[in-house]
Structure 1
Amino acid sequence: MNVTQRLATSCLVGALLTSTGAMAESMDSAESKSAENKALFIVTSNSLQTQGMAMVLGNAMQAKGVSVDVLLCDQAGDLALSSTVSQALKPRNVTPEQLMAKLQSKGANISVCALYLPNSEHNAQDLRDGIKVATPPEMADMMTSDNVRVYSF
């Protein structure tokens, strides 16, 4: 192999290594972006303002491309009931359940804790359309996933 051939081979190997490194960085960036794009909101507070703010933030995150799941536990589980009508919150005069419905209409999964219904006077038929009962293994998987950020309200 002459000098020109060696130089061309060396340049080709360098270019391949550079493009492989750039591809790896691009894949790492895509993986970290998907990790930032999933969120689980665990809402336990009975405070309307806290519930409302959780839903406001969920909608804001969803508008930025984040996939949002909401787990309603304890008294916050009442938001899941079709009979619940909360007081409207200022400044937009919307209820937490209206904000939750907006989240759900844009793809959010809404669930009640597995303990909510058995420890209340309600059953699954009392839940709003599309709201399900979460299972502990499902929630544990989500909470321990590197791809999901967990927020508690």
Structure 2
Amino acid sequence: MSQSSNLSADAVQPANEALAYQPEYAMVIVTSASLQTQGMAMVLARAMQEQGVQLNILLCDGAGDLAIEGYQSEKALEPKGMKPEVLLQHIIEAGAQVAVCALYLPNSTYQEQDLRKGVSVAQPADIAQMMRNKDSKVFNF
């Protein structure tokens, strides 16, 4: 009997699992200006990220303000007293790709230099490709 045939199923399993692992991808599109909706979007996005999902966030319309450096929500959300922009910053620091939609800046009083560090301006073709990715889930808030 050859040496390779003496391998137990337990010894082979971890290698097979590592080869089979495919990261999950999620695109979270937030357009709502509602504080609670923005907060829940960030809470769920962060939870997905903590579960190993590779996260892309697109901020449009009223939610685009979250991407502005120094932006402050009118109040913190209970039960933990967090603000959506603080959660967004944690998400960025943990490696998510975050962008404002291509229409946000030209239709606001802000410029690209006003964006918080780690936020870019989305390119429609790139976003469309992410949305079409069969391994990606798209969530709208």
TM-score normalised by length of structure 1: 0.78
Which residue identity does 2:32 align to in structure 1?
S
Aligned to 1:150, the other structure's residue is in SS state: strand
1:123 and 2:111 correspond: yes
Q: What RMSD in Å do the two structures reach over aligned CA positions?
A: 2.2
Task: Report which of the two structures shows the higher radius of gyration computed on alpha carbons.
Answer: 1
Which residue identity does 2:103 align to in structure 1?
L
Percent identity over the alignment is 50
Which residue identity does 2:115 align to in structure 1?
L
Partner of 2:42: 55
Partner of 2:29: 42
Unaligned runs of 5+ in 1: 1-25
Distance 2:129 2:86 in 1: 28
Distance 2:136 2:20 in 1: 15
Distance 2:70 2:104 in 1: 16
TM-score normalised by length of structure 2: 0.84
Shift >2 Å, 4+ stretches = none
Aligned to 1:84, the other structure's residue is in SS state: coil
Unaligned runs of 5+ in 2: 1-15
Distance 2:87 2:20 in 1: 30
Q: How many residues are aligned here?
A: 129
